[in-house]
Amino acid sequence: MDPSIFRDVLTALAGVATGVMSGTFGVGGAVISTPAIRALGCSAALAVGTTLPSILPGAITGSWRYRHGELIQWKVVAFTAPSGIVAAILGAWVSPRIPGDGHLLMVFTALLLMWSSINMIRNVSPREPRNASDASENAQAKTNLRDSQSFLATLTGLVAGGLSGLLGVGGGIVMVPLFRRWLALPMKNAVATSLICVGCFAIPGTITHSIEGGIDWRYAIWLTIGVVVGAPFGSKMALKMSDKKLQRVFGLFLAAVAVAYGGGELLAL
């Protein structure tokens, strides 16, 4: 599609949808924004870099509603974001050097996402302690978890950032399940904390792609406008849901992403 006001409006609408998903699930939203701008005429070479400038503003506006009630775990961000940024840079450097154009790795990633989605949907309700012994074990486990939280947060950043750079998948779709499983964060805390980390991950990528001329700024500006508008609505929706419902919805979202990635890559093979 040739550059026009009509195309700009469609880009902004794609940004709104991206922002809603970003604020609701704590992800970057490239699952929507990248194919959307590709359909509107953005070249494949520019599509990945062009979506990045919208992520940080979207994370800021989306996380504004999460600022109360200590939903954002800043200690977790402090350990996850730096390790994730380093891993994302390394992953991006390794990615073009792996044979097979990454298709098999993407299929494997899709299987991991599907496994993660099934676990999130099934394990919505935590197991209640049946007796005093179980309660004591749970209390000890929570203490051990707090002691190892810094390490687990760093490890989460390495995994999420590495996959983000290596495969181009959003770090949030990896971080939220890992925050739930490894750090035992409540669902809304996991989403809010992931949203901040995703914004941090986007900074080096935006700078790198901008220096290399890998961003179409007309698309990027209109996409950013839409994301900034949509993200607060997404976070508002998430806050209205119970943790159980939000976890189920996120699990279904992960399953949809897994099918989209896996199906696309299998067709490519």
Between residues 42 and 268, the one the model is more confident about? 42
Q: Is the pLDDT at 125 greater than 60, yes or no?
A: no
Q: What is the pLDDT of residue 133?
A: 52
Q: Is the pLDDT at 141 greater than 70, yes or no?
A: no
Take residue 24 and report the two structure tokens written for it. Answer: 């609701």
Angle, CA 131 vertex, CA 125 and CA 132 arms, to 5°: 115
Between residues 101 and 43, the one the model is more confident about? 43
pLDDT in tens, 23-80: 999 988 877 888 889 889 998 778 878 988 998 899 999 998 898 778 999 999 999 9
Mapped onto helix, strand or coil, the DSSP state of residue 56 is helix
pLDDT band at residue 240 under the 50/70/90 scheme: very high
Q: What is the pLDDT of residue 260?
A: 81
170 CB-near residues (< 8 Å, 6+ apart):
27, 28, 29, 30, 31, 164, 198
Can you tell me the distance from the alpha carbon of 147 to that of 142, in angstroms, rounded to the nearest whole number?
Answer: 9
pLDDT in tens, 198-213: 988 888 888 888 888 8
Can you tell me the distance from the alpha carbon of 209 to that of 39, in angstroms, rounded to the nearest whole number?
Answer: 21
Q: Is the pLDDT at 182 greater than 70, yes or no?
A: yes
| pLDDT, average across residues 98-114 | 73
Q: What is the pLDDT of residue 92?
A: 77
pLDDT band at residue 144 under the 50/70/90 scheme: low
Q: What is the pLDDT of residue 129?
A: 42
Can you tell me the distance from the alpha carbon of 83 to that of 153, in angstroms, rounded to the nearest whole number?
Answer: 9
Phi/psi at 102 (5° precision):
75, 5
Taken in order 192, 198, 201, 207, is the CA torsion positive or negative? Answer: negative
Q: What is the pLDDT of residue 126?
A: 47
Is residue 77 within 8 Å of 200, Cβ to Cβ? Answer: yes
pLDDT band at residue 222 under the 50/70/90 scheme: very high
Range with lowest mean pLDDT among 52-56, 108-112, 192-196: 108-112
Q: What is the pLDDT of residue 102?
A: 61
| pLDDT, average across residues 150-162 | 91
Q: Is the pLDDT at 103 greater than 70, yes or no?
A: no
Say how many C-beta atoms besides its own lie within 10 A of residue 1's C-beta: 11
